[in-house]
Amino acid sequence: MENFALPTEDLYSPEIATITRVETLTESEKRFEIRMPGEKALNHKPGQFVEVSIFGFGEAPISICSSPTRGPLFELTVRATGRLTDKMHLLSEGSQIGIRGPFGNGFDPGAFKGKDILFVCGGIGLAPLKSLIDYTLDRREDFGRIIILYGTRNPSEILFPEEIKTWQSRKDVEFAITVDQASEEWQGNVGVITTLIPGLELDVKNTIVTVVGPPVMYKFVLMSLKGKRIPDENIYLSLERRMKCGVGKCGHCQINDTYVCQDGPVYHYPRVKQLEEAI
Amino acid sequence: MNALEEKLNRFVKYRISEEDVRLLIDHLKQKAPVYAPHNSGEASFSYELVEKSTDVVLQYPRTMQPIKKFFLPPKEVLLNFNIKDNTYSKPEVPEETRIFFGIHSYEMASLKRLDYSFTQGHRESNYISRRKYAIFVGISYEPDESHFSKSVGIDVEETEGFDLFLLKNDTGYFLLEITETGKKLLDGYKENLVPDREELKLEPLRFKSKIKYHHNRLPSVFDHVYKSKVWEKYAEICVGCGTCNLLCSTCYCFDIRDEVELDAEHGSRTRYWDGCMLNTFAEVAGGENFRGSLARRTRHRLYRKFRYITAKSEMLHCVGCGRCSHYCPVGISMTDIVNDLIADHEEKQKREKI
Ligand SMILES: Cc1cc2nc3c(=O)[nH]c(=O)nc-3n(C[C@H](O)[C@H](O)[C@H](O)COP(=O)(O)OP(=O)(O)OC[C@H]3O[C@@H](n4cnc5c(N)ncnc54)[C@H](O)[C@@H]3O)c2cc1C
Ligand code: SF4
Ligand code: SF4
Ligand code: FES
C-alpha cells in the first residue's frame, strides 16, 4: 500500500523573482533577465523550462535561454501571444514575477563531449537552443565543430542580434541564417531552414543534431537529416505541448504514453519516432 | 471454496440487520465525520456528509460523481493572491480523519489508481493530505447494466483498501473486520454481537456488461488497435462533451486558472477537473492541436485507461464503474468500444493468418 507518511511536495507555489533587465528583441519578442530570491542559482540544465506566472494572468511554460555557466541570473525570451505573455511584455526592470521550476529533463551536454554539434533552430526555437549553444561555447574545448543553422520568417524576426554577431565573427563557430521572405535590404539566404542542410559537409557518425522549432518544422528537418544519413540516434528534439502543471500531473502535455514536462521537452529521436502524436 | 471466498472467510464477521447498519453509522459518526451515498434527485445518488443515518442509501448502483471528489475536488483553490503586492498564501489543506461509508469495491480500486498518479514522480501534498487519514467502509452491490468491474478484475466483494466491509445477505449484512483500524472502530459497537462462524458462500454475480477477453489480455490488445477503424465509428456519434472524463473514477487531469475578484486586487489560482475529450485540451499557441479529431481523443482516453499508465503501474486504469457509459449523452458504452476493438483485432489476426 502507498505510504502516505513519506514527505510530500508543495507543487504549485511559485517563488517570487525579480526582473532585472528587459530587452526588446523584435516586435513581439522580449528578453527578460531574472533574479531568484536571494540571488539563488536556478541550477538548470540547457533545454529545461520554468513556469512563469503573473497573479491574475496565469502561468506559462517558458524555456530558459541562458546557460547555467553564466551565473545565478537567468534569461527568458518571451513571444507575446496571449494573456500571460502579453502582460509580461508590459513589465519592466524591478517588476516581480512568479517562477516554478526548472522543469523537464533538458539536454545532457556531458553526453555530447568530443562530438560535433549541429544546431537547427527555427524561429523562437533559437531561445531554448541558445542555452545549449552558450554552454558549449563556454566549454568550447569539450566539443568538436559547432554549427548553427537559424531560420526565421523574415529579417525583422531575428532574435539575439548581438549574439549572432559574435557567432558570425568567431572562427570556431559555423553560423548560417536564412529567412523565408526577404526584405529589401536583406542580402543573405532566402528559403526555409531545410535549404541550409544539404550543403553541409558533416562527419555524420560524430555529429549530434539538436532541433527546436515550430511544430511544422520537424518533419521536414528530419527528412533532410535522413538525406544526410545522420543516424537517428544522433538526433535530439525539443517538443512543445500545452502545459499546465509542469510536474507530470495535469495531463495536458501528454504525447501518447510520454509526458513532455517530465520525460521531455528534450527527446532522443528514437524514443518519439514511432509515436504518432509526436511529430 | 474459491480464492475470494477463502479470503473473506479469514476475516472476523458479524451478522447484522439493516437496522444495525444504521446504528453502526451513528456509532461511526461519533468518531469522525461520515460521508455516504444519499439520494440526489430521481435515481441519482451522491456522497454527502451524513446528518441522519436514516438518510443513507445502502443499496444503490453508483453515485454520479466518483469518490475522487473528496481527494481531488472538482474545484480547488491552490493559492490566494494579491495582485498589488505580488504576495500569496496557500490555503491549508486539512489532514483530517474522514470515514467514507457504503463504498463500492471499484471506487476503492479507483483510489488505488489515483494514489499511484499523485505519488509517482512528484508526491503532491494536496492530494496526500486529504487522503492520508481516510477510512473506508465498503458495501456489496448489485451490478446494473453499466457495471463491468469484474471484467477488469475487480470483484464486488473485493475488500482491498477497506477497513470494514458490509456484505449483503438475505436477512441483512455480514459486517467484516478487514483491518486493525476497522476493528478498533467497532469498539463500543460490537459488544452485543457474537462473531458468526458460518462459512461464507458467494452467489455468483451476473454482470450484464462484460468485456470479451480476460483483463490480463487487454493491454496487449491495445498494442494492435491504434490504427483501428473503431475509433472513427465512435467519434461519429460522440459530441465531445467530456462527461466521460469528468465523471470517470480514475481520470485526474486538470486545468489551472487565475480568477480575479471585482476589486481587481485579490484573486485565486484555482484548479478544475479537465478532460482530454474536450477539444482545447491539447491546443497550443498558434492554434495547433495535437489531438484535433474526436477519433484521436477517444483513442487517447482509452489508451490512458488500458495501456499507457498500465504499462508503468501494472494496473488497468479503468475500474469498470460504468459511469462513462451510463452518463454519456449519446449512449457510447465503454464495453462496446473495447469489445469492438477486440473483434477488430481478431479479424485482423485471422486475415494475417490466411
Ligand atoms: C516547454 C515549452 C517551452 C516554451 N518556451 C517558450 C519560450 O521560450 N518563449 C515563448 O515565448 N514561448 C514558449 N513556449 C510557449 C508558451 O508557453 C505559450 O506561448 C504560452 O503558454 C502562451 O500563454 P499565454 O497565457 O500568453 O496565452 P493564452 O492566452 O493562454 O493562449 C494563447 C494561445 O496559446 C495557447 N497556449 C496556452 N497554453 C499554452 C502552452 N502551455 N503551450 C503552448 N501554447 C499554449 C492557447 O491555446 C492559445 O492558442 C513554450 C512552451 C513549452 C511547452
Ligand atoms: S460522454 Fe459520450 S459524447 Fe461526451 S465526450 Fe464522452 S463519449 Fe463523447
Ligand atoms: S473509463 Fe468509464 S468505466 Fe472505466 S473507470 Fe472511467 S468512468 Fe468508470
Ligand atoms: S504539464 Fe501537466 S502533466 Fe505535463
Sequence-separated (6 or more) residues with CB below 8 Å from residue B338:
B211, B218, B221, B302, B306
pTM of the model: 0.94
Q: Indicate whether residue B334 lines ligand 2 (CB < 6 A).
A: no
Is the pLDDT at B34 greater than 80? The verdict is: yes
Is the pLDDT at B321 greater than 90? The verdict is: yes
- The answer to whether position A247 is within a domain reads no
Rounded mean pLDDT, A103-126: 96
The pLDDT tens digits for B58-84 are: 999 999 999 999 999 999 999 999 999
How many distinct structural domains can be found in chain A? 2
Sequence-separated (6 or more) residues with CB below 8 Å from residue B43:
none
Question: Domain boundary at A85, A103, A121, which?
Answer: A103
pLDDT at B283: 83
- The answer to whether position A97 is within a domain reads yes
Angle at A64 between CA A62 and CA A68, to 5 degrees: 160
Q: What is the pLDDT confidence band of residue B42, given thresholds at 50, 70 and 90?
A: confident
Q: Return the best residue to mutate from A11, A105, A261 for the ligand 4 pocket (most ligand atoms within 8 A of CB).
A: A261
Question: Domain boundary at A103, A125, A157, which?
Answer: A103
Q: Determine contact: B215 vs chain A, CB below 8 A.
A: no
Say which residue the cell 558549449 belongs to.
A136
CA distance A279 to chain B (A): 9
Domain CATH number, residue A153: 3.40.50.80
Residues A46 and A138 occupy one common structural domain: no
Rounded mean pLDDT, A248-274: 95
C-alpha dihedral, A166 to A170 to A174 to A176, nearest 10°: 30
CA distance B187 to chain A (A): 25
Residues A155 and A51 occupy one common structural domain: no
pLDDT at A278: 84
Residues A208 and A114 occupy one common structural domain: yes
- The answer to whether position A252 is within a domain reads no
Is the pLDDT at B334 greater than 90? The verdict is: yes
Using an 8 Å CB-CB cutoff, list chain B residues near A242: 281-284
The residue range of the domain holding A92 is 15-103
pLDDT at A277: 83
- The answer to whether position A138 is within a domain reads yes
Assign A103 to helix, strand or coil: strand
Residues A141 and A203 occupy one common structural domain: yes
- The answer to whether position A8 is within a domain reads no
Q: Where along chain B do its domains lie?
A: 3-192, 215-353
Best B108, B115, B123 residue to mutate vs chain A (most A CBs within 10 Å): B123
Test A245 with B254 for CB contact under 8 angstroms. Answer: yes
Atom of ligand 4 nearest to the CA of A242: 1
Using an 8 Å CB-CB cutoff, list chain B residues near A2: 112, 115-116, 119
Q: What is the pLDDT confidence band of residue B280, given thresholds at 50, 70 and 90?
A: confident
- The answer to whether position A249 is within a domain reads no
Using an 8 Å CB-CB cutoff, list chain B residues near A214: 286
Rounded mean pLDDT, A158-172: 95
Residues A135 and A166 occupy one common structural domain: yes
Is the pLDDT at A6 greater than 90? The verdict is: yes
pLDDT at B206: 81
Which residue did the predictor score with more confidence, B280 or A197? Answer: A197
How many other CB atoms are there within 10 angstroms of residue A177's CB atom?
Answer: 20
Residues A49 and A99 occupy one common structural domain: yes
Q: Indicate whether residue A12 lines ligand 4 (CB < 6 A).
A: no
CA distances from A264 to A210, A276, B13 (A): 13, 16, 51
Residues A124 and A210 occupy one common structural domain: yes
pLDDT at A1: 64
Assign B60 to helix, strand or coil: coil
CA distance B178 to B161: 9
Q: Which one of B82, B269, B282 has the shortest CB-CB distance to A241?
A: B282
Question: Domain boundary at A238, A255, A274, which?
Answer: A238
- What whole-number percentage of chain B has pLDDT above 70? 100
- The answer to whether position A196 is within a domain reads yes
Residues A151 and A233 occupy one common structural domain: yes
CA distance B154 to A29: 54
- What whole-number percentage of chain B has pLDDT above 90? 87
Q: Cis before residue A198, ω within 30 degrees of 0? A: no
Annotated binding site of A for [2Fe-2S] cluster: 245, 250, 253, 261
Residues A144 and A207 occupy one common structural domain: yes
CA distance A129 to A142: 18
Test A251 with B253 for CB contact under 8 angstroms. Answer: yes
d(CA B299, ligand 2 centre) in Å: 12
> Which letter, b or e, does each residue of B315-345 get, where b requires 16 or more Cβ atoms within 10 Å of its Cβ?
bbbbbbbbbbbbbbeeebbbbebbbbbbebb
Is the pLDDT at B287 greater than 80? The verdict is: no
- The answer to whether position A278 is within a domain reads no
Residue nearest to atom 5 of ligand 3 (CA): B318
Q: What is the pLDDT confidence band of residue B284, given thresholds at 50, 70 and 90?
A: confident
Rounded mean pLDDT, A34-48: 96
- Helices and strands (DSSP H and E) totals, chain B: 12, 11
Residues A33 and A69 occupy one common structural domain: yes
Is the pLDDT at A110 greater than 90? The verdict is: yes
Sheet holding B87-89, edge to edge: B87-89, B75-82, B266-273, B254-260
Domain CATH number, residue A46: 2.40.30.10
Residues A119 and A148 occupy one common structural domain: yes
Say which residue the cell 483500524 belongs to.
B181
Q: What is the pLDDT confidence band of residue A274, given thresholds at 50, 70 and 90?
A: confident
> For residue B283, what is the DSSP state?
B
The pLDDT tens digits for B294-320 are: 999 999 999 999 999 988 899 999 999
Query: How many residues would you count in chain A?
Result: 279
**Number of the ligand closest to the Cα of B240:** 2
Nine cell digits for residue A93 = 526592470
Residues A125 and A210 occupy one common structural domain: yes
Q: Determine contact: A245 vs chain B, CB below 8 A.
A: yes
